[in-house]
Homo-oligomer: A and B are copies of this chain.
């Protein structure tokens, strides 16, 4: 690690994702990167938690085709407008030109909804709650960045259909709980901000963005939750027979988050030494480095293996690094990869019945008794999870500054009064060169004036340098 996070965040990020072997950016298409084994494991742990939560709340996992006929894709006008410049088109197959071009899903509304219109017939088919974990494709024209702005994007999308607006609204609220529980495993903080009308998802009635705070007033959108009302069910004819025989259109919602979660883990938790992974998503929660002094090699090696086996048997993801390399160089490499807990075992540790440890997140070091190793390691992993969650909450709070004027704003996420009018909103964006993220979905107590027009602020709003 040559570059420091605090000195050049952008360069630091680009370097660390490859040094930690999360990704390989040398694939010959820009913005389409290779998931290396270590990075893919992190993503898969996150996917596992996502599945756990969606299954728990009675969502059914499905898998819809990647390709969408242009004819279906164009059925919802607002939607196509939003994606027109961003989709990849398959025009040829084998030696033939296709009659109807097929686009690679940028998201799956237009793939799923023609089929939903067949699945939903009556009141008793609702709510229909589905999700899928797939890759999606967007032809990014902005500069790409691993996990954060890529052209092939790993993500989950849940899609639900409901009898009415209120039931769909309840789904949105369930999504908040699902989100909260997923984030507990990843130790990331976030804001839930209702996007402005000119920034909502194409076709949505409203959009709630999930934004994480990063260094120096940056924010990273991790996902979004949408209430569609009948905006898609009408063009796609997703309707059901009500109790009195009348036909009604469904109300729909979606919720999605992408591999940006991995990018955010890197960007939020990482430090000058490299990644810092929360134990719940770390491929290795513990690494054991034997300290092999002369005359002690066999004894230490045997004891290190024994310790590895004990921890593995207890369900801990542990790796014994017994390569022929200096311990210092091993420490350095596992710090880059963010392993939460390092154990060292040398001749003296064994003689004293102890194990030395080093905690990645705060650098603390010490020893515990060899005899209670399993319990102590479990205790440490729990403690690290708690510490990382507490860090996240306190950094969330300190990332924001409430301002009453747009003059020389601090390098923070800004919180301020807004009258709610588009004109003032756009002025805020122009004058600060920040993105107006929206207004808190869960109302915050606020009394003040709009920072632009000075009228009584209807709402409090947030703005940030969006990554």
Contact = CB atoms under 8 A, between A and B. Distances in A.
Interface of A: 24, 26-29, 32-37, 40-41, 44, 60-67, 69, 71-72, 84-95, 101-102, 104, 111, 114-115, 118-119, 130, 135, 137, 139, 141, 152, 154
Nearest to A114: B28
A152 B61 contact: no
Contact of A28 (B33, B72, B135): B72
A94 B111 CA distance: 18
Contact of A37 (B62, B65, B85, B94): B62
B66 A40 contact: no
A324 to B, nearest CB: 11
A92 B88 contact: yes
A108 to B, nearest CB: 11
A48 B191 CA distance: 35
Most chain B C-beta atoms within 10 Å of own C-beta, residue among A28, A32, A104 = A28
A305 B234 CA distance: 40
B61 A90 contact: no
A61 B37 contact: yes
B62 A36 contact: yes
Contacts of A85: 94-95
A27 B65 contact: yes
Given A69-B29, A115-B27, A63 B154 contact: yes
A137 B72 CA distance: 20
Contacts of A28: 69, 71-72, 114
A259 to B, nearest CB: 10
Contacts of A37: 60-62, 130
A26 B112 CA distance: 11
Contacts of A60: 37
A18 to B, nearest CB: 12
A200 to B, nearest CB: 21
Nearest to A35: B63
B91 A89 contact: yes
A13 to B, nearest CB: 20
A66 B27 contact: no
A61 B40 contact: yes
Nearest to A154: B63
Contacts of A69: 28-29
Contacts of A24: 115, 118-119
B26 A115 contact: yes
Contacts of A35: 62-64
A29 B62 contact: no
Contacts of A92: 88-89, 91, 101
Contacts of A36: 62
Contacts of A40: 61-63
Nearest to A85: B94
Contacts of A135: 66
Contacts of A33: 65
12 contacts: A24-B119, A26-B118, A27-B111, A28-B114, A29-B102, A33-B65, A34-B62, A35-B64, A63-B154, A65-B152, A88-B92, A94-B139
A90 B65 contact: no
A88 B97 CA distance: 10
A65 B34 contact: yes
Contacts of A84: 94-95
A35 B130 CA distance: 12
Nearest to A27: B65
A67 B37 CA distance: 19
A34 B63 contact: yes
Most chain B C-beta atoms within 10 Å of own C-beta, residue among A24, A26, A37, A67 = A67
A179 to B, nearest CB: 22
A71 B27 CA distance: 13
A111 B34 CA distance: 10
Nearest to A89: B92
